[in-house]
Amino acid sequence: MQANRPLLDRVKTPEDMRNWSVAQLRQLADELREEVIEVVSVTGGHLGASLGVVELTVALHAVFDTPRDKLIWDVGHQAYPHKILTGRRDRMRTLRQGGGLSGFTRRSESIYDPFGAAHSSTSISAGLGMAVARDLSGDDYHVVCVIGDGAMSAGMAYEAMNNAGSMHSRLIVILNDNDMSIAPPVGAMSAYLSRLMSSRRFLSLREVGARMARVFPKGLERTARRAEEFARGILTGGTLFEELGFYYLGPIDGHNLEHLLPVLRNVREAPVQGPILLHVITKKGKGYPPAEASADKYHGVTKFNVVTGEQAKGPPGPPSYTRVFSDTLIKLAEADPRVVAITAAMPSGTGLDRFAARFPERCFDVGIAEQHAVTFAAGLAAEGMRPFCAIYSTFLQRAYDQVVHDVAIQSLPVRFAIDRAGLVGADGATHAGSYDVTYLGCLPGMVLMAPADESELVHMLTTAAAIDDRPSAVRYPRGEGFGVTLPERGEVLEIGRGRILREGGTVAILTLGTRLYEALKAADELAARGLSTTVADARFAKPLDEALLTQLARHHEVLVIVEEAAIGGFASQVLHFLATRGFLEGRLKVRPMILPDRFIDHDTPARQLAEARLTCPDIVQTVLGALGEASVSVRA
């Protein structure tokens, strides 16, 4: 039965709500919140952050002339209300599904998404670039960036603010604060001060004061300016932002439209040259009791029951790779007091929340600061600790210079636990760990491992803990393992040594990572066609097992290399070895199977792998194509 949402039904684009009263906008916000809850209960996704910005989203679209005015959402996981108000309501139940809406903002999806985002802390940099482009072209529109307090922990946000504060381009930054402890109490006085300081009367008076101060002797001028700014800082808590060159307003209640609307209108019309920062206080999960009561405020949820808030659970299955990592690291730390763990604002996503509960003094969440996390780990390693730096594959990309300069060049034994390697399903291309084999495999001295299953992950983490003379990395996928028996204790593997799981004579399939099981299925299919097949698990992308590669090249007619990673990775390293040793000059036919040279959109993991052509049937067809026997149907 369709819910009764009369005002939301009238909004096809934000223009439809621009002349509405405060009471109408308040009702619209209530209906919008209900719609978000209903949608995400069906699709799953990022609920808490979206519920926290419902009123702010309504107010921004009511006050600003979007899409002419540019509205940039940092990260984008709080943009579900924005999507509903900007012509995408009828497609919201396709969210994060194949062919459906992205879970983040996306330029190709709507003119109301001027900048795509799924990683944090990019909004102010992008917004400043747009503001400068506007000024250079002589245009006239507003640029508004909405950034959360978590995203403000990243250095990039402060780099952008430092740059913006030294320029005269008009930029509006909304700090969506749902967890900052530095904020003073929010109430009527704070809202009144924000309205006052954003008004033309106050701004004009401030300019008069500034002009008068300039005719004072230099000492008095500096004293007057500092006294005025310090007074504003005491009243509002904005001294930090003022020092960075922003005109600070707030904090105000981000759920109170009577406070938000007049301040935003004043900000829109204010004759201020340079950047403005409006500090709003919101609450994640606002308006949905199960989310408000949850520790993570329903940040990321599966499908759930709207009435009870209970999230859907599939049948019990094998543990996830993340869980296996967490359990293994705890065991390693129990045996070795030098083992410490670092994460960059993802304790639950990386499994380190459980490690932190067991060893709170040895687990460090450094915030959204991957660069700092890597160099911090390097400092720990330099002093004899055994740091495990647990960062998603795509987030580690943000710290590549630190991996090279602070870790690899100094040969420091930082251990990188790289979660979300390979394709990641509903989060799509922005979170797919496609490139880590390439960007780490080219670094001298790096030991790079990829487990074929969860048991191998235990052994590889144990191996990494034992490597004390160089950096190492273990890349593993999102999701559940294969259900293999886990060892009570891991064993230290021989560095750079793979393994053969099946012996054959004509075809060799060499895999890196979890494509091994598809290769074993393919070997069965090929055996049914009369083709004797060897299946080998490389285990190490670096250093290469040269003896294994030599054996496979010398004794087989076809060598297929399979990895869930982009071009330039393991297969490229193997091909380079084979070329330099002359193995490509004879009868050997080599076929690399890697991720295609394009971004793969959000979908189920199975469909993504099928699209990438990395499944059992694809391996079989690759072998038959190499042999020129695609039409042969021979069975043993």
531's CB contacts (< 8 A; 6+ apart) are 504, 506, 507, 623, 627, 634
Residue 371: C-alpha distances to residues 277, 330, 340, 447 (Å): 26, 25, 18, 20
Contact yes or no for 493/435 (Cβ under 8 A)? no
Residues with Cβ within 8 Å of 558's Cβ and at least 6 positions away in sequence, in order, are 506, 507, 508, 588, 589, 590, 591, 623, 626, 627
Question: Which residues, in sequence order, are CB contacts of 501 under 8 Å at separation 6+?
Answer: 516, 520, 535, 536, 537
Kind plus residue range of the DSSP H or E element containing 497: none
Q: To which H or E segment does residue 250 belong? A: strand 247-253
Contacts of 233 (CB under 8 A, 6+ apart): 239, 242, 248
What H or E segment, with its residue span, contains residue 23? helix 22-43
**CB neighbours of residue 225 within 10 Å:** 15
Structure tokens at 96: 């994060």
Nearest to 375 by CA among 329, 414, 433, 347: 414
Whose CA is closest to 581, among 554, 541, 559, 542? Answer: 554
Question: Are the C-beta atoms of residues 509 and 534 closer than 8 Å to each other?
Answer: yes
Q: Exactly one of 83, 89, 284, 475 is catalytic; which is it?
A: 284
Residue 21 backbone class (left: φ over 0; alpha: ψ -120 to 50; beta: rest): beta
Is 370 among the residues known to form the active site? yes
Q: What is the DSSP letter of 535?
A: E
Residue in 106, 170, 398, 478 annotated catalytic: 398
Question: Which residue, among 286, 503, 469, 499, has the nearest Cα to 382 in the 3D structure?
Answer: 469
Q: Which of 34, 370, 454, 456 is catalytic?
A: 370
241 in Cβ contact with 251 (< 8 Å) = no
Q: Is 521 known to be catalytic?
A: no
- Residue 284 designated active-site: yes
Q: Tell me if 482 sits within 8 A of 517, measured CB to CB.
A: yes
- Dihedral pair phi/psi, residue 93, rounded to 5°: -80, 5
What's the token pair of residue 66?
A: 């979007």
Alpha-carbon distance 426 to 103, whole Å? 8
Within 376-513, strands assigned E span 386-392, 415-419, 447-449, 472-475, 499-502, 507-512
Residue 361's Cβ-count burial label (10 Å; 0-12, 13-18, 19+) is exposed
Q: Which residue has the tokens 């004009």?
A: 204
Q: Using CA atoms, how far apart are residues 594 and 571, in angstroms rounded to an integer? A: 8
Contacts by 39-42, CB closer than 8 A, 24 or more apart: 39/80, 39/84, 39/92, 39/93, 39/95, 40/80, 40/95, 40/301, 40/304, 41/303, 41/304, 41/305, 41/306, 42/93, 42/303
The catalytic residue positions are 284, 370, 398
